[in-house]
Amino acid sequence: MSVEFRYANEGDYLAISQFLNDYWAAGHIYTRDKALFDWTFRRPGYWDRSDYSFAVGEENGELTGILGGIPFDFNCAGDRSKGIWIVNYVIRPDHRKGSGALKLLSMFRGAPFQATIAFGITEASSVIYRVLKGEVLERIPRYFAILPGQAARFAHLLSLAHPEWGPEKNGTLASIFEMQQLPKPDGPAGNALPEQWDSEDWPRFATETVGAARDRDYLTWRYQKHPTFEHHFIVYPENGKTGLAVWRLETIRRATEGGSRVDLDRIGRLLEFLPVSAANARNLLAEFFKQLSEAGAFGADYYGFHGESGEWLREQALRPVSTVEQGYALPSRFQPLEGKGGGILSAMFVSAGLPSCKISAECPWYWTKSDSDQDRPN
């Protein structure tokens, strides 16, 4: 019997969960949290079917491969089309020599999608994207900052994540990212999107960027309706325009030999950064740092492609880890804490004529770790 390919329905969840556990990662969050799986792969209004945006290969009633898709509105300088992020791309070992991988990918590639993006691939899996003439990108830039006087806290975390490193190396690396002082915002910030976000604010950002459309519907789904994380909005007005930042607090935990997890510290994860000017960027970040300090966090990180906003982040002491020796060894996974660095590779298939996504001051792509499912519970 040949392998059949189709989109999964709710009755397939248990089989998909077991497949993920067996062939992707034991105890993966999607195997433990159906609500998160449903939120990710059943987005009302963006998937014109009653089933999951999740493709499966099946033979004799058993799964042979899986590929998830997360649909979104793709924005290119104000023009909208359909886009999709692909995740959890895995073929059962006894089927890896066939055409299953290509057939699964074909279910999310081409019309109606102008952009098919794989965010968070491995070096090994990048081969298939190159063979199919996809574009494999540089690692998405990561920015890191430690609040004034808090470097010792991060040095302690480094000693746990990298026990082979000595105290001097841990202290030196932590001090490189420590801010000298906290900026103060020029006035009070808001905590909710303004009424004119869709009519005035997002359209201005849209004409200057490429990536997922950050309209109210997207921001509400991605942050306010997230089934696990609590997110905080920061809005700062400037001359009739609105800058936006979104962040969440993450507790860093250490795994014990008995299988439990012990709380260690707190870090802020900045997920959206859409300032309208350099001054607006300073105010957004000043308010962000203020909230971080009040929440008891030692610092924060941010992942993002976008040339101009990256420049403004650096001006406000968020240092790119790529500019620091051993920067890519900074922990990125905190539940539990592990020494694996935070370099994230991506690949994509996009229509001809779209601007390229690269690390440069001119990069128009606005793309952060909140895209796809890279910012999810461990």
Catalogue all structural domains in the chain, each as residue range(s) with its CATH number. Answer: 4-109 (3.40.630.30), 142-342+358-368 (3.40.630.30)
Alpha helices, DSSP H, located in the chain: 13-19, 29-32, 34-41, 100-106, 126-131, 151-161, 167-176, 202-208, 216-219, 278-295, 307-315
pLDDT for res 124: 84
- Mean pLDDT lowest among 239-248, 257-266, 310-319, 333-342: 333-342
Instruction: Specify burial of residue 262 (Cβ count, 10 A radius: 0-12, 13-18, 19+).
Output: exposed
3-state secondary structure of 172: helix
Average pLDDT over residues 138-152: 97
pLDDT for res 1: 61
Summary mean pLDDT of the chain:
94
Q: Which amino acid is at 305?
A: F
pLDDT-derived band at 315 (thresholds 50, 70, 90) equals: very high
Calpha distance 335→259 (Å, rounded): 12
Closest CA to 235 of 191, 271, 283: 191
- pLDDT tens-digit profile of 321-372? 999 999 989 999 999 999 877 689 999 998 888 888 999 999 999 999 999 9
- The residue that leads in pLDDT, 209 or 132, is 209
- pLDDT tens-digit profile of 41-95? 998 889 877 789 999 999 999 999 999 999 999 999 999 999 999 999 999 999 9
The structure tokens listed for 173 are 């690396």
- Mean pLDDT lowest among 99-103, 156-160, 216-220, 301-305: 99-103
Query: Would you state the torsion angle of the CA atoms of residues 284, 285, 286, 289, taken in this order, to the nearest 10 degrees?
Result: 130
Closest CA to 6 of 18, 20, 16, 21: 16
% of residues, the chain, pLDDT over 70: 99
pLDDT for res 342: 66
pLDDT at 271 over 80: yes
